[in-house]
Amino acid sequence: MSLTDPAFIKQLDALNLLARRVLKGSLQADRRTERRGTGITFADYAQYQFGDDYRAIDWKIYARTEELLIKLFEVEEDTTVYLLLDCSRSMGGKLDYAKRLAAALGYIGLNGLDRVVVHGMADQLTTIVDSVRGRGQAFRFLRSLEEADVYGEDTDFSACVRSFEARTRKRGVVLVVSDFFFREGYEEGLKLLQWRGHDVFCLQTMAQDDLKCPWLGDLEIECVESGQKERITVREREAKRYEEAVERWNEGLRTECAKRGDGEYDIGCSF
Amino acid sequence: MNWGAPAFLWSTLVLVPLVAVYFIRTRPRRQVVTVFFLWEKILDQKTSRSLFQRLRNLLSLLLVALAFLGAIFALARPTVGEKDDRDLLIVIDRSASMNGGKTSRIELAKKKAESWISGLGGTRRAALATIDTELRYLEHLTDQGKPLKEALKRVEGSDLPLRSDALEELSLLASGEGANVRILWLTDGKHGEVELPEGIERVLVGEVTDNFAITAADLRWQSGDEVRLFVSLASTSEEEKEVDLELVHPETSEVARYFTMKLPPGGQVSESMVVEGLRPGGWEVRIVGEDDLMADNVVPLGLTIPRATRVEVVSETPFFFERVLEAFARADSLFEMVEDGPEMVLAQGVVPDAEVSIIFTPSGESEYWTQVGDELSVGSPEVKIEDHVLVERLDPGLLSFAGARKLEAPRGAVVVLAHPDGSPLLYTVQKDGRRAVVVNLDPAKDDFFLSPWFPVMIHDASVFLTGRENRLRSVFATGEVVGLPGRGEVGRVRRQYGGVGEDLSGESPVLVKNVGHYEVEKGGEVSYFGGGLLSPGESVGGLKGDEGGLEIEPAKGWSLAGWLLFMAVLVVVVEEGLYQRRKVG
């Protein structure tokens, strides 16, 4: 199904409504942040400090208690949603699912008047959608996303993150959509993203063949990214070891995310 | 090493495409993986994959090549040792003694023969035959093991003894011009005085343990209801033994006599005794107990009521005729003198009105002779028919035929003895269904009445005319041919033994092929006789000649080709198992 297909867009609309209900309708131009500023929504009181805007002093409280307290308001700002989409060759058939996932998240963001940027990741970072905002940009966003295809050789997540940081000045919500099967690991990349103050969410897409080893016997395995080859004999024992290794790898990702406070979600694919 | 079919060795060239096909076959499947680096980690943990895994396919190919070479060599029919391309004739002794032993010796011989046949492996031709009273081919020369083995299955022990003339036939085969055959004779060595002919390799099978055997027996009606039983025993035991015997009725198991005979070491003993109250029919004399060969422990016997020929004497001087008849009646119950309704008439000078007659001193005119003339001169007669039954026991040179007259025998008469001038002296004649033996002499002259030839002449003439022997023997040895006495058609011949009966062809003579009770109907009369082994050679015969060793043992068990083929199949199966394990895990 195409991303610009009316049926798919209809599904995205339904998803948007669902998201609004879940988030209690607060996405409309008022994404709440922990930062305090000059908004209109009262957040808290604080002791007056030198240099604070005296207009924010609550005189009624001063009259009652002779203490200078200022009112704090939530900052109302538009948030940038960064979608880092793994476009390496290992994504193969999973890329469609990954793109649909990115489309759904981006669509919700656009409807919340957030700025949405989509980058592709492989051996280097590419830009798939360059900063769109507002519902009117949804079609452009979807079409650009649909045109994205796999590229590059071996995925270098750290290099892509470094490249992403170099291009990005504003902090935002970073959604990494990938299988997270990076030869060099995912720890350094996630650490960099968190260090820059992004809200990081890892969305892992996996195919059934990634989790299980259905082949037995003499095989010549070939890396889908690098083209490396190796002759092996897979018996039940090797198949089990592989499944355990994949399980350990994914468990490591969950642990890393939990340690850094990042969100981590598994998205399964059934092919 | 010799090759039976070396042309098959060219098949080794097929190894070249085989290797190519093998490499194509063992090429691994290509599989694209997304998590290659994880596979690398797993493979790094396997330390054994290095050398063995690299050589595994080569080892596998080597196994397949070896299996293929094994199959080719098997087709080339290799043999080890000195090449012997003579055909084999495997002869199995199926005589009665081969049935003996804990495991019957015939079975041991069959196993041995089967082992040889398997060992040939198609490299040589072989034939299969059995021998007892005759040599019988079961399968002619072939290099195929299957028909030989099928024929081998049909081999069974017989009740017949081994005959030397059958062995002689074998030796002729071995010594024939251009004979290229090796004769292997599987036997237990119990063939008595039979000499082992040249050119036959004897192979002894089985072990022979102590054996007791009835080597002769007889059951003879004596007088009244008395029957005389005669038994002769032989033993191979080196110790003195007492052997219990019984005379029993086979159907009712009624024991008529139970007695013991003491056998000297390795010797034989005979005993005769009177038994009373026996019924006509079949009886068995048995050794009580078991020994090496059971077939010679039982001898079936037939007891037939003797029936005398009723004879009337018509003579002016009947005294000597009557004494002769009385003597035969006493000894053999052959004759019974009657004055009315005779079956045969013994006459002198006249032609009696009887169907069968013996006529001495012919005189006057008669249909049995013509032109009776003067008395002939005394002298030795001329023998016209040498082997005639009438002169079988006579010595014509000692007969003077005193008182013989010149006469002529009627047309159709068979002259056995004649005077030098041509006059018949002893002849048989048949007219209008009446038969007679004419003896042209006067027994009163030259004291012929007192001559020992007088009763012999009457006996032989009466046997000839009535067709009735004095008595059928109570038992015949297996392999013997029994001529049934009496005139008339043979009605029924039936053999019965161990509760099993069989009808034999109703022809005379009867061949006694098996141990058993024989019942014969001929001319309306029923006679009984037994068939027993009664062969000292089979029962207690020793070994003669060599000890049965073979100079060159034929291949036995599986042939080299068979083993090669088996190993090839085994290797292929193992390799296929390993291959499947590698290919599909």
Specify the DSSP element, H or E, that contains A167: helix A157-167
**B325 vs B178, higher pLDDT:** B325
Whether complex ipTM tops 0.85: no
Same domain membership, residue A83 and residue A45: no
Least confident piece of the model among A162-166, A184-188, B123-127, B419-423 = B123-127
Best mutation site among A153, A219, A226 for testing chain B: the one with the most B CBs within 10 Å?
A219
Choose the final residue of a domain: A27, A59, A74.
Answer: A74
How many residue pairs from chains A and B have C-beta atoms closer than 8 A? 90
Residues B451, B454: Cα–Cα separation, whole Å: 6
Specify if A111 maps to a domain: yes
pLDDT band at residue B318 using 50, 70 and 90 as cut-offs: very high
Nearest to A148 by CA among A86, A200, A210: A86
Cβ distance of B585 and A235 shorter than 8 Å? yes
A224, A231, A249: residue with CB nearest B33: A224
SS3 of A77, please? strand
Choose the final residue of a domain: A74, A91, A122.
Answer: A74
For all residues of chain B together, what is the average pLDDT? 84
Cβ distance of B584 and A223 shorter than 8 Å? no
pLDDT band at residue B273 using 50, 70 and 90 as cut-offs: very high
Residue environment code for A47-80, b if the CB has 16+ CB neighbours within 10 A, otherwise e: ebeeeeeeeeebeeeeeeeeeebbbbebbebbbb
Same domain membership, residue A69 and residue A87: no
* pLDDT at res. B71: 83
Angle at B51 between CA B47 and CA B52, to 5 degrees: 90
State the average pLDDT over residues B468-474: 70
Output the six-digit token pair for A268.
């399964």
SS3 of B375, please? strand
Domain B212-305 has CATH 2.60.40.10: yes
Least confident piece of the model among A234-238, B500-504, B539-543, B576-580 = B539-543
Same domain membership, residue A237 and residue A259: yes
Residue B258's alpha-carbon distances to B229, B281, B294, B517, in angstroms, are: 12, 19, 19, 21
- Give the position of tokens 């004399």: B285
Strand partners, A86: A121
Q: Going residue by residue through chain A, which has 271 residues, state the pLDDT in tens, using 9 for 90 and above.
A: 676 777 777 777 777 666 665 554 444 444 455 555 666 677 788 888 888 888 888 999 999 998 899 988 766 666 788 999 999 988 888 888 899 889 988 888 888 788 899 999 998 999 999 888 888 888 889 999 989 898 988 888 999 999 999 988 888 889 999 989 888 889 999 999 888 888 888 889 888 888 888 888 778 888 888 888 888 878 888 888 889 999 999 999 888 888 877 666 665 544 4
Contacts of B29 in chain A (CB under 8 A): 215, 217-220
Q: Is the pLDDT of residue B231 over 50?
A: yes
Same domain membership, residue A201 and residue A143: yes
Nearest to B123 by CA among B5, B283, B32, B236: B5
Output the six-digit token pair for B59.
């080892």
* CATH pick for B87-209+543-563 out of 3.40.50.410, 3.40.190.10, 2.30.30.100, 3.40.47.10: 3.40.50.410
Q: Please, are residues B247 and B257 in contact by the beta-carbon 8 Å criterion?
A: yes
Cβ distance of B36 and A233 shorter than 8 Å? no
What are the tens digits of pLDDT across the range B363-408? 888 889 988 888 888 888 999 998 888 888 888 888 889 999 999 9
* pLDDT at res. B48: 47
What's the domain range around A138? 6-13+78-268
Cβ distance of B34 and A234 shorter than 8 Å? no
* CATH pick for B309-466 out of 3.40.50.720, 3.40.50.880, 3.40.1410.10, 3.40.640.10: 3.40.50.880
Same domain membership, residue A259 and residue A230: yes
State the average pLDDT over residues B151-168: 89
Q: Please, are residues B215 and B232 in contact by the beta-carbon 8 Å criterion?
A: yes
Which CATH number does the domain housing residue A234 bear?
Answer: 3.40.50.410
* pLDDT at res. B416: 94
Specify if A86 maps to a domain: yes
A210, A231, A234: residue with CB nearest B34: A210
Same domain membership, residue A159 and residue A139: yes
What are the tens digits of pLDDT across the range B39-55? 888 776 554 455 666 67
Same domain membership, residue A50 and residue A82: no
Residue B5 Cα, gap to closest chain A Cα (Å): 40
**Which sequence spans correspond to the domains of chain B?**
2-77+568-584, 87-209+543-563, 212-305, 309-466, 475-532
**B227 vs A3, higher pLDDT:** B227
Residue A251 Cα, gap to closest chain B Cα (Å): 14
Same fold, B87-209+543-563 and B309-466: yes
Q: How many domains does chain A have?
A: 2
A51: CB partners within 8 A, 6+ apart: none
> Which residues of A fall below an 8 Å CB-CB distance to B?
90, 92, 179, 181, 183, 207, 209-210, 215-226, 228, 230-236, 238-239, 241-242, 245-246, 249
Same domain membership, residue A150 and residue A108: yes
Same domain membership, residue A145 and residue A51: no
Strand partners, B504: B493
Residues B213, B192: Cα–Cα separation, whole Å: 14
What are the tens digits of pLDDT across the range B174-184? 777 666 788 88
Q: Is the pLDDT of residue B280 over 80?
A: yes
User: Phi first, then psi: what are they for B319, rounded to 5°?
Assistant: -55, -55
* pLDDT at res. B400: 86
Residues B260, A65: Cα–Cα separation, whole Å: 149
Specify if A129 maps to a domain: yes
Specify if A20 maps to a domain: no
Same domain membership, residue A135 and residue A257: yes
Residues A156, B5: Cα–Cα separation, whole Å: 69
A217, A220, A236: residue with CB nearest B583: A217
Nearest CA in chain A to B584: A217
Nearest to A192 by CA among A125, A132, A116: A125
> Which residues of B fall below an 8 Å CB-CB distance to A?
26, 28-43, 45-46, 49, 53, 581-585
Q: Please, are residues B527 and B484 in contact by the beta-carbon 8 Å criterion?
A: yes
User: Phi first, then psi: what are they for B428, rounded to 5°?
Assistant: -115, 150
Residue environment code for A250-261, b if the CB has 16+ CB neighbours within 10 A, otherwise e: beebeebbeebe
Cβ distance of A221 and B36 shorter than 8 Å? yes
Same domain membership, residue A192 and residue A69: no
* pLDDT at res. B557: 61
Nearest to B416 by CA among B428, B403, B404: B428
* pLDDT at res. B81: 64
Q: Tell me the whole-structure pTM to 2 decimals.
A: 0.52
Residues B256, B80: Cα–Cα separation, whole Å: 64
Choose the final residue of a domain: A25, A49, A74.
Answer: A74
Counts for chain A of helices (H) and strands (E), in that order: 8, 10
User: What does the longest C-alpha to C-alpha distance in chain A come to?
Assistant: 86
State the average pLDDT over residues B207-220: 86
Cis bond leading into B509, ω under 30°? yes
Same domain membership, residue A245 and residue A191: yes
State the average pLDDT over residues B229-243: 89
Q: Is the pLDDT of residue B298 over 90?
A: yes
Angle at A173 between CA A169 and CA A177, to 5 degrees: 110
Strand partners, A31: A77
State the average pLDDT over residues B400-419: 91
Angle at A175 between CA A171 and CA A179, to 5 degrees: 145
Nearest to A83 by CA among A40, A125, A43: A125
Specify if A1 maps to a domain: no
Contacts of B26 in chain A (CB under 8 A): 218
pLDDT band at residue B320 using 50, 70 and 90 as cut-offs: very high
